[in-house]
Copies of this chain bind each other. A is one copy, B any other.
Amino acid sequence: MKKRDVYLDNMPLEEAKKLFFEDLQEAGILKSREPEILDVRKALGRVTAEPVFAKISSPHYHAAAMDGIAVAAKDTFGADDSNPVRLKEGIHFKYVDTGDPLPPGCDTVIMIEEVHPVGDGEVEIIKSYSPWDNVRGIGEDIVATELIVPENHRLRPQDLGAILAGGHVQVAVRKKPIVAIIPTGTELVSPGTVLKPGDIIEYNSAMLAGFVEEWGGQALVMEKVEDDYEKIKQKIQEALEKADAVIINAGSSAGSEDYTSSCIAELGKLLVHGVAIRPGKPVMLGRIGEKPVMGIPGYPVSAVLTMNLFVKPLIYLMQGIPEPEPEKINAVMSRRVVSSIGTEEFLRVKLGRIGERVCASPLPRGAGVIMSMVRADGIARIPALKEGLEAGEQVEVELLRPGYEIENTVVIIGSHDITLDLLANEVKKYYPELNISSAHVGSMGGIMALKRGECHMAGIHLLDPDTGEYNVPYIKRYLLEKGVVLVNLIYRQQGIMVPKGNPKAIKSIEDLRRPDVLFINRQRGAGTRLLLDLKLKQLGISPDEIRGYDREEYTHMAVAAAVAGGSADAGLGILAAANALNLDFIPISPEEYDLVIPEEFYHLDSVKKMLQVINTDEFKQKVEALGGYDTRDTGKVTIVPRGRFH
């Protein structure tokens, strides 16, 4: 029984929020709920459901604040060096330790260091004291009946201390809102399952549960349900019995969204289905009885975003505390980004302080790319009425990590290599406060980013086909206006990737000419394409002789995937890509991969620390252990002064 819901709205975000939260308000769902009574010592991080007034004062008696003698201040009046006053134990004073109650008739404590025993239980005092000197009076800290913490207050360690000091052993806190999460989708399999094509690992529920708990709720992950109207409906009803709010996480397969929306509409009311945001458009907001029910889209980034927009404020409202405001920063867009009019886009960006400004570089925008949320430093909103952002335009970015971390980040843009990941990891081990951020746009993209001042350094491997020399000719051509330093990261093996077992027995570049071999190439300008062209030239082979020379891919991985998928018999790439997809690899030539660092950044403290790590034996050993890498020149510095080649 499949019900299709043809209606998918494109409601502006603010309108959707208003509709949803006003309905919950009217239904009385956001009003205070029954509190939970906890031992104060177990209440850290919880939110008070009632104001806490002190039951007793602290101290609850006049207490000595020093070790010494307790006296009546008036008995010391007039004492000085030449007129010492003599006091008798038991009559004028009593010895007290810090914390001891003041004996009756005493109002002052004299420090033991200022007391001069003269024998016979008598002491001399050579100055006069004021009442309450060195005494902690009743209620000095807390006065009985005083407010210790108000209602709707998130309890910190010092609050627990003060509440206990005020005579309480229990405290009334808000119950954690229980949020049920129902993963739906016939294609979903549990983590750890051996995968076949079409299987999707069900990981959204772990992520959504994590958010619910970070925001102060309690997550209840339900068993996953296949795409079946009746089963989904039944699971929603089960969840409603156990939870204060229900999330249905749509599968990505056809129709699963429609089941969810029809179920919500049948059991209660569907207020919103479709919001003008990207990613996250197919979100659903509704209510069944007294409980909010939300359909969260299946693509992971859509899921994260819609959770933040709708479920986060809900969980905070249910606890009675305001949603924390995100830290914001002004940044400058490194590239132009085109966006659709009428849709508010939430663009994930990497950030870095490059000289005077903070640069924001957009990350992949696909709703399915969860790594864009892992890598992102922040989110830039592109309003619905804007067609996009221009390069150089100033944008406000909501931070996903603290601002000071952005300040401590070295930004590398250019060609990707896995040794950069390794480097990022090693740097974090030596200098936990330092971050390496790398964006992958190819070698020439890296040089252009450096020219535009978007990064501290570029990772490049550019072969000059005329000289066979790597990198320096390109710096001379494109970076003349800057003095730069070239630091060798590694040499890496380029080779021919072929299916496991090498079924067509390919041994060299020459074999690519064979009529039974279908090749897959890289795009024009790619370092790997330049290498192939040089090799072909050296061997006197014409590109026409190679079947598939014109089929272009943009990354090592895409070439490897074509070979792995059977749509090509061979492609040129690096060992790491072959290893990633379990391909065989025939080495052809080592390639020089360098970091290009403008002089102005070479002397930054953060860059120096990074280069120190590159020079450690530990880093080099780990690189060598990957296979396909040579570290003989790792860390080697070549200085290319500004304008030397004019």
Distance in Å: Cβ of A140 to nearest Cβ of chain B = 7
A104 to B300, CA, bound (A): 27
Interface set, chain A 181-203, CB cutoff 8 A to B: 187, 191-192, 195, 197-198, 200-201, 203
Count class of interface residues, chain A: 35 or more
A-side interface mostly: loop
- Residue contact A579 to B145, C-beta cutoff 8 Å: yes
- Residue contact B44 to A158, C-beta cutoff 8 Å: no
Q: Given A44-B214, A145-B580, A561-B139, are A165 and B203 neighbors across the interface (CB < 8 Å)?
A: yes
- Residue contact A253 to B97, C-beta cutoff 8 Å: yes
Which one of A101, A158, A198, A558 has the greatest number of beta carbons of chain B within 10 Å?
Answer: A158
Complex partner residue of A161 from B160, B207, B418, B433, CB under 8 angstroms? B207
Stretch at the interface among A269-277, A316-324, A467-475: A316-324
Q: Which residues of B contact A567 (CB under 8 A)?
A: 105, 107
Distance in Å: Cβ of A509 to nearest Cβ of chain B = 25
- Residue contact A138 to B368, C-beta cutoff 8 Å: no
A421 within 8 A of B: yes
- Residue contact A136 to B368, C-beta cutoff 8 Å: yes
- Residue contact A138 to B418, C-beta cutoff 8 Å: no
A3 within 8 A of B: no
Distance in Å: Cβ of A577 to nearest Cβ of chain B = 8
- Residue contact A40 to B191, C-beta cutoff 8 Å: yes
- Residue contact A322 to B157, C-beta cutoff 8 Å: no
A144 to B31, CA, bound (A): 48
Residues 196-238 of A, flagged 1 when their CB comes within 8 A of B and 0 if not, give 0110110110111111011000000000000000000000000
A153 to B427, CA, bound (A): 12
Q: Which residues of B contact A187 (CB under 8 A)?
A: 99
Distance in Å: Cβ of A524 to nearest Cβ of chain B = 16
Stretch at the interface among A59-67, A283-291, A530-538, A637-645: A59-67
Q: Given A44-B210, A146-B418, A580-B57, are A252 and B99 neighbors across the interface (CB < 8 Å)?
A: yes
- Residue contact A158 to B99, C-beta cutoff 8 Å: no
A371 within 8 A of B: yes
4 A-B pairs with least C-beta separation: A157-B210, A147-B421, A164-B203, A101-B197
Q: In the complex, given contacts A139-B557, A147-B421, what are 17 additional A-B residue pairs having Cβ atoms less than 8 angstroms apart?
A: A41-B191, A44-B213, A44-B214, A97-B254, A100-B253, A105-B567, A138-B561, A139-B561, A141-B370, A143-B580, A145-B576, A145-B579, A146-B421, A150-B425, A151-B429, A158-B304, A165-B300
